[in-house]
Structure 1
Amino acid sequence: MPSRFNQRTVLGLVVVLLGVFAFVVQADAAVEGDGLVAFDPGLTSDFVAHRTAVLSTVARAATFLGEIPVLTILTIVAAALLRLFTHRWRPAIVLAAGMIGAATLTYTLKVLIGRHRPDASLVLGAVSNGFSFPSGHSLSSAVFFLLLAGLLWYSKASRAIKLAGTAVAVVLTAAVGLSRIYLGYHWATDVLAGWTVAATWLCLIATTVHFAGRRRH
């Protein structure tokens, strides 16, 4: 009978493969213009129709958290704090590696898919001419916030703090992704794909860390 270690590793790899499959399906729909992609124009119109001054301010604040310079600074600060409070390099390295991987995946997949963004007339802010699929803001912010939440569960913090931290991470992840649709920078399926890649990448990181930890012991 396989050990618990093997079971977790196999389960993690299965989830990663399912994530890859889900993204491939989404990417194919983005290229072909069918599947869930068919609902994109309608969803974007709904978001635009419900814009208000207050929601626009909140959306701009949320999308600001997903900007590359902001996430870079946050990653450096968070990595330094992890090193300072845990007295170990491993959490800081995991966070840094996770964010570097997220950036690499974003650039590579955008170039491979080459999907264009919604019409510039829908954008609430400075127009971006880069490719759209998957949403880099959604992908990178999800990796950053959820990876920090995951590392929190390996700390000595109380269960209440761990649950609160996880809830905040989920809310911030959702806020950044939805803000990209609201502001007109991305289609809904771009954001969904970003979240799918982020979840798959996080699962691969967790599986690798678990595997390395058990081998070391």
Structure 2
Amino acid sequence: MLVAIFVAALGLFVFTHLADEVMEGDTRAFDSAILLALRAPADHADPIGPIWVEEVARDVTALGSTAILAYVTLAVCGFLALSGRRSAALLVAVSIGGGALLSSVLKLGFDRPRPDLVPHAVEVYSASFPSGHAMLSAVTYLTLGALIARVEPRWRTKIFVIGLAVVTTLLVGVSRIYLGVHWPTDVLGGWCLGAAWAMVCWLVALWLQGRGSVERDVPMVGDAATPNPRVAFGTRPQTRR
């Protein structure tokens, strides 16, 4: 819980500072240097690397698209609802839907133009800051990763799930820069705010679980009401005679 609070506070602090720098135009040199470093010097329309790398980047960036994230969210919510965890399903839907709404409002508020130094390798239709793909990937994958880690008793599995969520989020953001559709600071801002939002939602989930408003699958270690593990998994404890 302390780690989640720290990540949320740090993400909000960095995003606020970054947004101020972006609005003042102080990040232009940094953004331009990175974008141009990812393009062939002789042709800025050509990303560095072989052609298959660009195709892979398009595939990876689709993992942060509205269609894919909506599909994943609906699939998870459907699974939770059918498993009898309707409150958990509602919490996931509100968390991810709220993140999407926040991203849209901030884009309209900042109204930063898309990069004009290099041609865009994919079509874009909205403002640039913060990156919606980066932010919503963080919101969705980190929220779902935290949910799975919450109900998984083994630490190795917890670390794997959270690590997979983080790597996926990072790859989506990097692909947006590589394809020339976002300034690097757009992606950094999306990561920071998305991670902060996911951690806040996770803290809310823990609070609601403690109140009994959201289903708890695996009791927290140290809970006063933690039952015997054998009873929890349906096995009667043996009694001595």
Q: Identify the TM-score tier after normalising by the shorter chain.
A: 0.7 to 0.9
Code of the aligned partner of 2:119 = L
Counterpart-to-counterpart distance in 2, 1:179 and 1:185: 9
Say whether 1:42 aligns with 2:33. yes
Q: Who is 2:155 aligned against?
A: 159
Q: Is the 8 A contact 2:96 2:139 kept in 1?
A: yes
Q: Secondary structure at the match of 1:193?
A: helix
Q: Who is 1:175 aligned against?
A: 171
Code of the aligned partner of 1:33 = G
Say whether 1:92 aligns with 2:83. no
Q: Which has the higher contact order (CA 8 A, sep 6+)?
A: 1
Counterpart-to-counterpart distance in 2, 1:20 and 1:60: 29
Identity of aligned residues (%): 35
2:185 to 182, 189, 210: 189
- Deviation per CA, 1:71-94, whole angstroms, max 9, x where unpaired? 111110121123334x31233222
Counterpart-to-counterpart distance in 1, 2:58 and 2:6: 37
Structure 1 residue runs without a partner (length 5+): 1-7
Counterpart-to-counterpart distance in 2, 1:20 and 1:109: 14
Q: Who is 2:53 aligned against?
A: 55
Counterpart-to-counterpart distance in 2, 1:20 and 1:121: 30
2:114 to 110, 117, 123: 117
Once the two structures are superposed, the pairs formed by residues 101-112 of structure 1 within 5 Å of their partners are: 101-112=98-109
Q: Is the 8 A contact 2:135 2:194 kept in 1?
A: yes
Q: Is the 8 A contact 2:149 2:161 kept in 1?
A: no
TM-score, normalising length from structure 2? 0.77
Judging changes above 3 Å, is the alpha-carbon distance between structure 1 residues 42 and 100 closer, same or farther for their aligned structure 2 residues?
A: same
Q: Who is 2:78 aligned against?
A: 80
Q: Secondary structure at the match of 1:115?
A: coil
Instruction: Name the one with the larger helix percent.
Output: 1
Q: Is the 8 A contact 1:142 1:195 kept in 2?
A: yes
Code of the aligned partner of 1:32 = E
Counterpart-to-counterpart distance in 1, 2:152 and 2:19: 40
Code of the aligned partner of 1:45 = L
Counterpart-to-counterpart distance in 2, 1:180 and 1:142: 14
Deviation at 1:14, TM superposition (A): 6.3
Counterpart-to-counterpart distance in 1, 2:102 and 2:49: 31
Judging changes above 3 Å, is the alpha-carbon distance between structure 1 residues 151 and 70 closer, same or farther for their aligned structure 2 residues?
A: same
- Aligned length, in residue pairs: 206
Q: Is the 8 A contact 2:57 2:179 kept in 1?
A: yes
Say whether 1:30 aligns with 2:22. yes
Structure 2 residue runs without a partner (length 5+): 41-47, 213-224, 226-241
TM-score, normalising length from structure 1? 0.85
Q: Who is 1:207 aligned against?
A: 203
Q: Is the 8 A contact 1:29 1:37 kept in 2?
A: no
Q: Which moved more, 1:179-188 or 1:53-62?
A: 53-62
Of structures 1 and 2, the larger Rg is shown by: 2
Counterpart-to-counterpart distance in 1, 2:5 and 2:154: 30
- Deviation per CA, 1:102-122, whole angstroms, max 9, x where unpaired? 111111111111111111742
Judging changes above 3 Å, is the alpha-carbon distance between structure 1 residues 121 and 52 closer, same or farther for their aligned structure 2 residues?
A: same
- Deviation per CA, 1:148-181, whole angstroms, max 9, x where unpaired? 1101112146433332222221221111000000
Q: Is the 8 A contact 1:99 1:144 kept in 2?
A: yes
